Amino acid sequence: ASGCKIGPSILNSDLASLGAECLRMLDSGADYLHLDVMDGHFVPNITFGHPVVESLQKQLGQDPFFDMHMMVSRPEQWVKPMAVAGANQYTFHLEATDNPGALIKDIRENGMKVGLAIKPGTSVEYLAPWANQIDMALVMTVEPGFGGQKFMEDMMPKVHWLRTQFPSLDIEVDGGVGPDTIHKCAEAGANMIVSGSAIMRSEDPRSVINLLRNVCSE
Ligand code: DX5
Ligand code: ZN
């Protein structure tokens, strides 16, 4: 895909220095930041919520694009607080709501872009009816909940199918994506690339970000 964007996931960074870690990613050429919100209910882990996002927006001050990956059971609850905190995109899980249509509308009314995510066990056909109303589809390539897991290559047919059906839709992959797996994602048609440990664990995040972007945009 041409013009791939790279969004580091800061989940595996030093969370006590979150602001500095975000800045380090932006200074290393990140196109956006992917922020993982976990509520200990939708996934077996807890991270942070909108108060932290608000502090980050204030501290970063260079108007970064925040893609909020909402791994929470009641995504309806945090739309307004996240918008007020400065989130740019609200990516919720299809599995977490009975009324995606109302949620999509609410996210737009609060001035954010709309992302719709599916877990590995969710068929892409359930996402398709909403594809024309969203800005981005997120195809999870691990079970959500933890960084540093193994990339699930068998999710690539979902990406490819979406790319064929919806040529102009932004399609994001998340989980186990790095220099070893980016080719598969690019080939399938993903254009928004989340990468956590592969970037955070590198001594030279800039070169990893550039490599991912170059392979993906070929
Ligand atoms: C997993 C999160 C991912 C994760 C990515 O639940 O949604 O964003 O942090 O990290 P890596 O790239 O290490 O799999
Ligand atoms: Zn994520």
Q: What is the mean pLDDT of each run of 10 residues along the chain (218 residues)?
A: 89 92 96 98 97 95 93 98 98 98 98 98 98 98 97 98 98 98 98 97 97 95
CA–CA distance, 216 with 53 (Å, rounded to integer): 29
Pocket-testing residue among 11, 45, 140, 146, ligand 1, by greatest number of atoms within 8 A of Cβ:
11
CA dihedral of residues 157, 159, 44, 134 (deg, nearest 10): -140
What is the number of domains present in the chain? Answer: 1
What pLDDT is stored for residue 61 in this prediction?
A: 83
Q: Is the CB of 196 under 6 A from ligand 1?
A: yes
Residue 206: which CATH number?
A: 3.20.20.70
The answer to whether 22 touches 33, Cβ cutoff 8 Å, is yes
Sheet strands side by side (includes 33-38): 5-8, 192-195, 170-174, 136-140, 113-118, 89-93, 66-71, 33-38
Pocket-testing residue among 33, 194, 202, ligand 1, by greatest number of atoms within 8 A of Cβ:
194
Q: Which atom of ligand 1 is nearest to the CA of 195?
A: 12
CA distances from 198 to 47, 146, 177, 186, 211 (A): 20, 14, 7, 16, 11
What pLDDT is stored for residue 2 in this prediction?
A: 67
Nearest to 82 by CA among 16, 41, 72, 27: 72
The boundaries of the domain holding residue 200 are 5-217
What pLDDT is stored for residue 185 in this prediction?
A: 98
CA–CA distance, 166 with 170 (Å, rounded to integer): 9
Q: Is the pTM of this model over 0.95?
A: yes
The ipTM value here is 0.99
What pLDDT is stored for residue 218 in this prediction?
A: 86
Q: Which atom of ligand 1 is nearest to the CA of 43?
A: 6
Q: Is the CB of 202 under 6 A from ligand 1?
A: no
What pLDDT is stored for residue 42 in this prediction?
A: 98
Radius of gyration of the chain (CA): 16
